[in-house]
Amino acid sequence: MSRKQGSRGTANVLLDLGFDDAEELSAKAALAVRLNELIDERGLKQIEAAAVIGMTQPKISQVRCYKLQNISLERLMHALVALDQHVEIVVRPIRHARRHGITVAAG
C-alpha cells in the first residue's frame, strides 16, 4: 500500500499504514506495553506470569512478542487487573480539537 506524495501522517502509524483495525491494535499495544513492563519489573518468567494472570504460557509469549491478533482487549485488561492495576474506561463526547476514536493511556 502506498501513500500519496505530500500526505500528512496521523499520530497513529497503524492507521497511516492502512490497517482497518488500527485503533484496536494501538489500544492492545498500549496495554501490552504496560503488561510487559509489569512482568519485567516483577522478574516473572512466562510460566509464572501465566499462573498469576490466568493465561496460558503460549498466550504470555504472544503478548511478550506483541503478537496481539488473537488476544482481546478485555483479556489484556483482566491481565493488568491480575497484576494489581486499575483499568479505567472513559466515554465522553468528541471535543472540537479531537476526532472520534479510541485512545488508551497506560502508565
Domains and CATH numbers, the chain: 14-82 (1.10.260.40)
pLDDT score at 2: 40
pLDDT score for 6: 45
Q: How far apart are CA 82 and CA 61, in angstroms?
A: 17
Residues 64, 39: contact at Cβ < 8 Å? Answer: yes
pLDDT in tens, 22-75: 788 889 999 999 999 999 999 999 999 999 999 999 999 999 999 998 999 999
Residue 66 cell numbers, joined: 506483541
The pLDDT assigned to 56 comes to 97
Q: Is residue 7 pLDDT above 60, yes or no? A: no
pLDDT tops 50 at residue 1: no
